[in-house]
Amino acid sequence: MIAVEPQRIAEVLLLTPDAFPDARGVLVETYRAETLAAAGFDQPFIQENQSFTRRRGTLRGLHFQAPPAAQAKLVRVIRGAVFDVAVDLRRSSPTFGQVVSAELSTENRRQLLVPEGFAHGFVTLTDDTEVIYKLTARYEPAAERGLLWSDPALGIEWPLPLGQIEANPRDSGFPILAELASPF
């Protein structure tokens, strides 16, 4: 069983799979296509990435690919913890510019489903953090875009002081929401 909780923006789903412990350890069904289909999401995932991040406070994001290379993402953590963020970039959406965030960790087993039309990013809350995310469309460098993670207009409640969050030059150079021509 995977518990599915629609978030403040209903297309964003927080998933919590059951854990089946026994003497050897724990088994978790981390993904079931039919569970997501029943929750209204029926796109197949065609790629999976794994990132390893050495330091706590490292930011990766906020990223998206423009249509027709737009991607939905299913994000989970297999080592450590992250603060995971999705920003609604659909111009006709009543929640345009609004944010859904969740702490995902090995311990809480949570996953975030980030649909097409959202920017996505996370900051690591632990050293040596590993994140796995499934994607519905392949990596397309020419379609890569970004939104500035620290844009105050987004009102993201980062759980670390901004001074403790480190982004690479590329992620620090993305436009703020007001200057972003959203392709969605």
Q: What does the binding site for other proteins look like in residue numbers (CB under 8 A)?
A: 22-34, 44-55, 58, 60, 78-79, 130, 132, 138-139, 168
CB of 15 to other proteins, least distance (A): 12
Pick between residue 152 and residue 163 the one whose CB is nearest to other proteins.
Answer: 163
Measured between its terminal Cα atoms, the distance across the chain in Å is: 33
Pick between residue 9 and residue 15 the one whose CB is nearest to other proteins.
Answer: 15
Query: How far apart are alpha carbons 38 and 51 in whole angstroms?
Result: 29
CB of 52 to other proteins, least distance (A): 4
CB of 173 to other proteins, least distance (A): 16
Query: How far apart are alpha carbons 42 and 78 in whole angstroms?
Result: 24
Q: What is the DSSP letter of 87?
A: E
Phi (first) and psi of residue 162, to 5 degrees: -55, -35
Active site residues: 63, 133
